[in-house]
Amino acid sequence: MMNWTFPLFRIFGIPVRMHLLMAIYIAAQLVTGFAAHRLFGLGWVAVTMAILIVTILFHELAHCWMAIRLGAGAEQILLWPLGGLAYVGHTGSARDEIKISAVGPLSNFVLGGALIGVAFAVGIPMEWMYFDPLHDWWFFELSLARNFLLHAIRINFILGLFNLLVPAYPLDGGRILFSLLTIQHGRRRAAEVTSAIAIIVGIALAVWAIAGKTFELALIALWVLVEAFRLRHLAAMGELDSHPAFASAPEYEYMPERPRRKGWFGRWRERRAQGKARRELERERTLRDRVDSVLEKVSREGIGSLSPGEKDILDRASRRNRGD
């Protein structure tokens, strides 16, 4: 994949590269915009592409920041037609992988929320249609700047929600799912379950893309399916160590079990059992005291001095010791 890339710049010391197909995609979008609406269409697409790239960079930089903070390091960021890829190291901890994966979508929610605050400050009405991704993406009653601000808000929330809520590896939601399953069931079983879910999700995305004639979604579906089958093959062959994302991960990393909180009925049964145990202990103590008293009388006066009741006490104690 890296053979078809070229460098763009460095940000916070991290190299940023672009895939040739991403450049072709941007150029195709610009040509389409110009053909449809001339200079207005060209400008509209150019600004939208700029917003998209900044949003992707913000997302991937969040992954890199968390990886560096956890001591894993970050090598580079790649912009390609399906979004971005952060090439980060791995600490070998599934919990760290959850943090690295989750921080990307969360960063989009933070940025999107901040932009909603800006939208409110500049007077954009807080109506759902302005933020609904399924609604029209252009509002003639708003200025250009306000329309592009809404573009940025929608793109951030779409990117964040899609990555977090779609449990398909290699999306962030799939990586989080894999790490959670690794903690509970081990790496190989986690790979088998995660890849099976990703295959189902990938097929669903492909059907959705075909029905909606969405080329970008079809590419994402293909990517998910290719990576899912690759992960499944490596798990079946016992070669997960050859996958760059799992080479340093331990086979098992169990999460300590949390004590289950008892319900009302459970607490009532527990109190009942404790009361029964206390009463039994009290009976044992009383019987022991009475036996000691009887035995003391036997030692002083002989066995013939015992009353029928005292003989019954010794008999009950004898049966209890035998377990009768």
Give the per-residue pLDDT at 268: 79
Give the per-residue pLDDT at 257: 46
DSSP secondary structure code for residue 82 in this structure:
T
Dist. CA 52–CA 156, nearest whole Å? 8
Q: What is the pLDDT of residues 209-248, one digit of tens each?
A: 898 878 778 888 888 888 888 888 887 887 766 666 655 5
91 lies in the same domain as 8 = yes
Query: Which residue, of 103, 138, 165, is where some domain finishes?
Result: 165
Number of structural domains in the chain:
3
For 84-126, the DSSP string reads EEEEE---S-HHHHHHHHHHHHHHHHHHHHHHHHHHHHTT---
160 lies in the same domain as 178 = no
Highest mean pLDDT among 54-58, 73-77, 310-314: 54-58
154 lies in the same domain as 175 = no
237 lies in the same domain as 279 = no
Dist. CA 243–CA 133, nearest whole Å? 36
178 lies in the same domain as 224 = yes
With the C-alpha atoms ordered 74, 75, 79, 82, is the resulting torsion angle positive or negative?
Answer: negative
Give the per-residue pLDDT at 258: 46
Neighbours of 194 (CB within 10 A): 27
The alpha carbon of 306 is separated from its chain's Cα centroid by a whole number of angstroms, namely: 76
The DSSP bridge pattern shows strands 74-80 and 14-19 to be parallel
Angle (CA) 35-133-223 rounded to 5° is: 75
Dist. CA 199–CA 23, nearest whole Å? 29
Give domain status of residue 259, yes or no: no
189 lies in the same domain as 57 = no
Give the per-residue pLDDT at 256: 45
β-sheet bridge partners, residue 87: 76
Average pLDDT, the chain: 82
Confidence of residue 170 (pLDDT cuts 50, 70, 90): confident
11 lies in the same domain as 156 = yes
Task: Supply the range of the domain harboring residue 272.
Answer: 264-322
User: How deeply is 15 buried, as exposed, middle or buried, from its count of CB atoms within 10 A (0-12, 13-18, 19+)?
Assistant: middle
Contact 168, 201 (CB under 8 A): yes
E strand or H helix at 20? helix 20-69
Give domain status of residue 79, yes or no: yes
| pTM of the complete model | 0.69
Give the per-residue pLDDT at 62: 93
Give the per-residue pLDDT at 105: 92
Over range 291-299, report the average pLDDT.
78
41 lies in the same domain as 108 = yes
Poorest-pLDDT segment among 3-17, 21-35, 37-51, 235-249:
235-249
CA neighbor of 126 nearest in space, from 135, 116, 134: 116
